[in-house]
Amino acid sequence: MDKVKYAVIGLGFFGEVHADVLSGMPDVDLVALCTRRPHRLKEVAERYGVSKTYTDYRELLKDPEVEAVSVVTHVNDHRDIAVDALKAGKHVFLEKPMAATVEDCDAIIKAADSSKGGLMVGHICRFDPRVSLAKAAVEEGRIGRIVSMHATRNLPKDLTAQPRVLDSISPLMGDGIHDTDIMLWLTKSKVKTVYAQNVRVRDFKYPDIGWAMYRFDNDAVGVIEVVWFLPENTPYTIDARMEIIGTEGAIYIDAGNAGITINDKEGLHKPDTIYWPAVHDMRIGALRTELSYFVNCVKKGVKPTVITPEESKMAVAVMCAAEESAATGKVVNM
């Protein structure tokens, strides 16, 4: 069996999780890493035994050995890196959101259309078994036509302050996009109107709280809640829930509660068992499933179909409309 030669660009917290997962996959050879910070680059490369390191992603893209890359950088850098990687013929796994603007998404899609490399944006929730089982149930007609949805994706206030996440991205664009993508996926419909409200509590670039209400073409209402400001004593890392009500049934997802609560001297904890937990030193979970799917597409030479670039762009478009509504106080028609 041939292994896919893989590189990771961007080595913040989540870039390293990518590296960790990839280094444990039997059909992947993690061959190169890239970050602008030399010290960090050395540290992560040593941890995972990666020999090739780059501080300039353009140099990495010149390496003919590299077949596929994970792009795990700030969203504002997505456009340039993704376009360049696709032009270099690499298969690109791009973290969400696809890009900061619809124009940037268009540029990336254009580059993908003329590249031999495939492109997939990391809407990880589509590989969360709870969400994919919900999708399967909807497709089987078990809940009929969807008429109302509500998604919560709330984080404790410390998590969004250290490092200063809220200087980097807004709650709606950062987390609301997950549930917006899920709603678009489940309904297979388009958003017709968007109304949103932001609430600013602390002194960051972006507000602490975002709410959005969508009306879909299929007549459903979808409501997005992102409170990046839960109390310090919140007993979970994330409060992520979704309620999907259809004409024939309903689905309830509680993604912040995967069945374990640890009560120790520091308080209550509900550790992640779904996204990227480690079991006996193996990184398992949705990220691994997602990367496995992407790697399989690379190996088979097919374009990913579970998530398409057009879908990823649509989620960005809706979030941009939500931010516009929150800024103007008006309803935005799409």
> Residues near 131 by Cβ (< 8 Å), separated by ≥ 6?
125, 182, 242, 253, 255
Residues pairing with 152 in the sheet: 225, 241
Contact between 321 and a second copy per CB under 8 A: no
> Residues near 239 by Cβ (< 8 Å), separated by ≥ 6?
152, 153, 154, 155, 230, 256
- Closer by beta carbon to a second copy, 31 or else 41: 31
Sign of the four-CA dihedral 179, 185, 189, 190 = positive
Contact between 143 and a second copy per CB under 8 A: yes
Question: How far apart, in whole angstroms, are the C-alpha atoms of residue 249 and residue 143?
Answer: 4
**Residue 5 CB, nearest distance to a second copy (Å)?**
13
Contact between 53 and a second copy per CB under 8 A: no
Contact between 132 and a second copy per CB under 8 A: yes
Identify the residue among 40, 52, 190, 215 touching a second copy (CB under 8 A): 215
Identify the residue among 6, 211, 236, 294 touching a second copy (CB under 8 A): 211
Q: Judged by CB under 8 A, which stretch of 31-39, 160-168, 174-182, 204-212 contacts a second copy? A: 204-212
CB 134 within 8 Å of CB 244? yes
Q: Judged by CB under 8 A, which stretch of 44-52, 56-64, 88-96, 239-247 contacts a second copy? A: 239-247
Bridging pattern class, strands 4-9 and 221-227: unpaired
Q: Is 56 exposed, middle or buried (0-12, 13-18, 19+ CB in 10 A)?
A: exposed
- Closer by beta carbon to a second copy, 101 or else 257: 257
Bridging pattern class, strands 146-154 and 239-246: antiparallel
Identify the residue among 133, 164, 302, 324 touching a second copy (CB under 8 A): 133
Contact between 334 and a second copy per CB under 8 A: no
Question: How far apart, in whole angstroms, are the C-alpha atoms of residue 184 and residue 334?
Answer: 14
Question: How far apart, in whole angstroms, are the C-alpha atoms of residue 89 and residue 257?
Answer: 41
Q: Which residue has the tokens 């990220």?
A: 287
Residues 154-173 binding a second copy (CB under 8 A) are 154
Question: How far apart, in whole angstroms, are the C-alpha atoms of residue 214 and residue 331?
Answer: 10
Contact between 329 and a second copy per CB under 8 A: yes
Contact between 124 and a second copy per CB under 8 A: no
Identify the residue among 119, 134, 165, 291 touching a second copy (CB under 8 A): 134
Identify the residue among 258, 303, 311, 334 touching a second copy (CB under 8 A): 258
Residues 265-294 binding a second copy (CB under 8 A) are 265-268, 271, 273-274, 277, 279-280, 282, 284-285, 289, 292-293
Contact between 102 and a second copy per CB under 8 A: no
- Binding-site size, a second copy (CB under 8 A): 83
For the beta carbon of residue 216, count every other beta carbon within 10 angstroms.
20
CB 1 within 8 Å of CB 29? no
Question: How far apart, in whole angstroms, are the C-alpha atoms of residue 12 and residue 253?
Answer: 29
> Residues near 114 by Cβ (< 8 Å), separated by ≥ 6?
none
Contact between 262 and a second copy per CB under 8 A: yes
CB 57 within 8 Å of CB 7? no
Contact between 193 and a second copy per CB under 8 A: yes
Identify the residue among 14, 23, 25, 101 touching a second copy (CB under 8 A): 25
Contact between 247 and a second copy per CB under 8 A: yes
**Residue 223 CB, nearest distance to a second copy (Å)?**
6
Identify the residue among 255, 287, 316, 319 touching a second copy (CB under 8 A): 255
**DSSP secondary-structure letter at 124?**
G
Contact between 254 and a second copy per CB under 8 A: yes
Identify the residue among 49, 264, 301, 310 touching a second copy (CB under 8 A): 264
Contact between 1 and a second copy per CB under 8 A: yes
